[in-house]
Amino acid sequence: MHSRLAKVLHPLCGMPMVQWVVQAAQEAGCDVHLVVGHQAEAVKAATAGLPASLQDPPQGTGDAVRCAAAALPPEGTVIVLAGDVPMVRAETLTALLGGHGEALCTVLTALMPELEAQTSGYGRIVREGEAVTRIVEAANATETERQIREFNTGIYAFDVGWLVQEVLPNLQPHPPKDEYYLTDAVEAAAKAGRLQAVLHEDPSELSGINDRAQLADAEARLQSRLLLRWMREGVTVRDPASTYVDHSVTLSADVTLGPSVVLQGNTTVAEGVEIGSHCVLRDTRVEAGARVEPGSICTGAHIGPGCVVGPMARLREGAVLQEGSRVGNFVEIKKTTLGEGAKANHLSYLGDATVGAGANVGAGTITCNYDGHGKHPTHIAAGAFIGSNTALVAPVSVGAGAIIGAGSCVTEDVPDNALAVSRARQKTLPGKAASIHERNAERARAAKEDS
């Protein structure tokens, strides 16, 4: 992976790789126990709450399972799964369990596409009739055995009692690195005549991730699966190929997602909402009938019923838009509540503010919420009208129904229904433009000569 991040922590659709495997196992009804080694603390943090055993130093797959032996129940079945097979589905594990029966070991197998069969390093499944007799490692395979297309995916179900009491204690290290192989347990089951195989039809589901190209393939595949589910539940996805929806997102019927939309984290989108192209929403709740227009970026926001946001709006954490309110282009909202039907349509910054119902925030309005040391609140009451290009120096309040004249800098509270304005009188000097142009042109000439 050429990465500072442990392989199994790389995210896929917003969830660490290992968690996809954990989730599949849990959905198949398994209790999950982890064996962690590389970046152990980070892996444990990413799978919060799961019991884990530490394997340190790493001494092979058999050793890894042995590390967890004490945590296993005395009897029953255990599935052994690598953390880097994020595409595995619960149904597949259920099928493995269903086929296990009285075997000591059941290996999940798949068929290689023919092209790869000659060169693949996977262990081949040797059968006599239906019965599996053994698994031969690629390196030890005869020319005939190398023709076998059924291979070992490395996913197993074991009889726990047998594995823990009879097999793990007797594993022997293998040269060159003195590692303990889990395949020895498989071999022991074969020798006992109680090895089985369950053939899975789709080998790519069981592929391990070993570089970022495979990571990208896995993400595309998991994404397709998520989107297919949402489409079947009534979400219109204009272009599934360019749409990115995290596993943790919740959508509803008659939601429409435009091309190149990205939905992340705990985003929920209610019925009938339209999310325009190129929008990015993270941890944002959108209520029924709202519309988020193209190119808007929302994080930690709450967009009420029937609101219209964007295009090119930015909602940040704590932005709360009550019913029917409106945030337009080049407007940033942070820790601010917009009351019902309130509007901030153009080029504004509202931070640490409350805006009452029906208030109109003019273009170019800025809440000066930061004084270099702390943040301060601005309160705009219902029905107020903030003229364009106004600076509101917090802490400050504008009363209900008040009007602020365009271009003002409001430093003192404004009572209900008052007019406030801080505007120098316009001076108009007829014919004066010519001399200014002359001066500026001269200055430009001089600058050019200087350089």
What element of type H or E holds 91? Answer: helix 90-100
Please identify, among the stretches 30-38, 46-54, 140-148, 270-278, the one whose residues bind a copy of itself according to the rule CB under 8 A.
Answer: 270-278
Tell me if residue 149 falls in helix, strand or coil. Answer: coil
CB half-sphere exposure, 396, CA atoms < 13 A = 22
312 part of the interface to a copy of itself, by CB under 8 A: yes
233 part of the interface to a copy of itself, by CB under 8 A: yes
| Binding residue for a copy of itself, selected from 276, 300, 306, 356, defined by CB under 8 A | 276
Of 128 and 412, which CB lies nearer to a copy of itself in the complex structure? 412
Q: What is the secondary structure of 262-291 as a DSSP string?
A: EEESS-EE-TT-EE-TT-EEES-EE-TT-E
305 part of the interface to a copy of itself, by CB under 8 A: no
User: Would you say 387 and 369 are in contact if contact means Cβ atoms under 8 Å apart?
Assistant: no
For 377, list phi and psi in degrees, rounded to 5: -90, 155
As to burial, measured by CB atoms within 10 angstroms (0-12 exposed, 13-18 middle, 19+ buried), residue 132 is: buried
Contacts to a copy of itself from residues 319-378, by CB under 8 A: 328-330, 332, 346-349, 360, 362-364, 366-368, 370-374, 376
Contacts to a copy of itself from residues 234-253, by CB under 8 A: 234-242, 244, 253
270 part of the interface to a copy of itself, by CB under 8 A: no
Please identify, among the stretches 4-12, 104-112, 143-151, 181-189, the one whose residues bind a copy of itself according to the rule CB under 8 A.
Answer: 4-12
User: Would you say 410 and 393 are in contact if contact means Cβ atoms under 8 Å apart?
Assistant: yes
| Binding residue for a copy of itself, selected from 128, 169, 433, 449, defined by CB under 8 A | 433
**Polymer length of the chain:** 451
Contacts to a copy of itself from residues 372-411, by CB under 8 A: 372-374, 376, 385, 387-391, 393, 401-403, 405-411
Catalytic-role residue among 247, 346, 376, 379: 346
Of 124 and 335, which CB lies nearer to a copy of itself in the complex structure? 335
User: Would you say 138 and 126 are in contact if contact means Cβ atoms under 8 Å apart?
Assistant: no
Q: Which two tokens stand for residue 157?
A: 């179900």
Contacts to a copy of itself from residues 277-296, by CB under 8 A: 277-278, 280, 293-295
**Catalytic site residue 38?**
no
| Binding residue for a copy of itself, selected from 166, 254, 283, 323, defined by CB under 8 A | 254
424 part of the interface to a copy of itself, by CB under 8 A: yes
Q: How many residues bind a copy of itself (CB under 8 A)?
A: 112
Measured CA to CA, the distance from residue 121 to residue 284 in angstroms comes to 46
Q: CA angle at residue 249 from 244 to 252, to 5 degrees?
A: 100
The residues annotated with a catalytic role in the active site are: 346
